[in-house]
Amino acid sequence: MKKLAVFSVLALLTLLYLLPFGLASAMDVNEIVEKANLASYYAGDDGIANAAMKIYDSQGRIREREFKILRKDVEDGGEQYYYVYFFRPGDVRKTVFMVHKHIDRDDDRWLYLPALDLVKRIAATDKRTSFVGSHFFYEDVSGRSPQDDNHELEKETDKYYILKNTPKDADIVEFSYYYVWIDKNTFLPMKAEYYDKGGKLYRRMTVLSVKNIQGFPTVVEAKMEDLNSGGYTILKFLKVQYNKNIPKRIFTERYLRRPPRKYIRR
């Protein structure tokens, strides 16, 4: 009887030890990608954060950006709205950038220039251009659609799934492939390395800090390096809040022209 109990405990422990590993190993690569996409871009139904960027050029000169970012998901993994309100620098103060992210077609992007009271519509074909002069691209901020790449599970360590991602349409992107290190617990991509058409590593994203906010593991500090020029950008998210019930109407022309004070206080 005693033997059986010991055996049972051992069996249970073995099982407990093996179970997550075993299950995870069996995890399909697309499922990993899907989970990573949700973890990094769809936490909660909506989110608010203050973002602070420090952009370092190759000569060590620093430029800073400070903005508020609001996000609302229409559905998990699907359409999303983004609203970005700039505090700094002075030449873009009070400027608003708004995106309606679509899955089946190009995103809709607007820019509001307060000095002219002008609502501008921006063509959104190229998402791999610098976001506000930083080393992050638009796509890094709002997420690259998982459907745009083919994914392979290159390697699995005890902490990470290492995925190799190859673009389906190589002509519209500047990389030939990139690797992503996805944390097995949180499914947050912790590192990404981009290789150019010549197979040379030229761009690297590294997560510097993750915090648990309202039960959601959240990247609060990340670094993006341009290895060719030596420049890099540090992005910090402060005052992150989820599930604030941001109404859908915030993401319309009304609030482009008249920022929703309740949500964008510094």
Partner 1 sequence: MALAKQGKCYISYLYFLALLIFFFGRMPVFAMSVLEDLSGFFETSGSYRVVDNDLAKTDWLLGEVRLQLDYTKDTDDFTISLKPEFIFDGTDRELHFNFRESYILLPLDALDIKLGRQIITWGTGDFVFLNDVFPKDWQSFFLGRDDEYLKKPANAIRWTLFFDKFSVDIAWLPFFTPDQFISGERLSYYNPLSGSLSGPLNPEIDPDYPDTEIENGEIAARIFGTLGSWEIAVYGYRGRWGVPSGFDVDKNKPFFPHLEVWGSSMRGPIAGGIFNAEVAWYRSLDDLNGSDPYVPNSEFRWLLGYSHEIAADQSIGVQAYMEHLLDYSQYKKSGGNRDRERLWLTLRYTGLFMQQNLTLSFFGFFAPIEKDLYCRPKISYKYSDNITVTLGANVFFGVESSTFFGQFEENTNIYARIRYFF
Binding site for partner 1 (CB under 8 A): 55, 57, 61, 63-64, 88-91, 93, 100, 105-106, 108, 113, 115-119, 121-126, 128-130, 132-133, 231, 249, 252-254, 257-258, 261-262, 265
Between residues 41 and 232, which has the closer beta carbon with respect to partner 1? 232
Three-point CA angle 252, 216, 106, nearest 5°: 35
Structure tokens at 32: 């990993």
* CB 91, min distance to partner 1, A: 6
Work out whether the CA dihedral 169, 172, 175, 180 comes out positive or negative. Answer: negative
Between residues 3 and 249, which has the closer beta carbon with respect to partner 1? 249
Between residues 20 and 133, which has the closer beta carbon with respect to partner 1? 133
Structure tokens at 260: 């929703």
What CA–CA distance (Å, rounded) separates 109 from 96?
11
What CA–CA distance (Å, rounded) separates 81 from 109?
10
* CB 201, min distance to partner 1, A: 20
- Cβ atoms of 250 and 262 within 8 Å: the answer is no
Between residues 40 and 233, which has the closer beta carbon with respect to partner 1? 233
* CB 215, min distance to partner 1, A: 29
* CB 99, min distance to partner 1, A: 12
Closest CA to 139 of 41, 242, 69, 38: 41
* CB 194, min distance to partner 1, A: 15
Between residues 168 and 265, which has the closer beta carbon with respect to partner 1? 265
Strands 46-56 and 160-167 turn out to be: unpaired
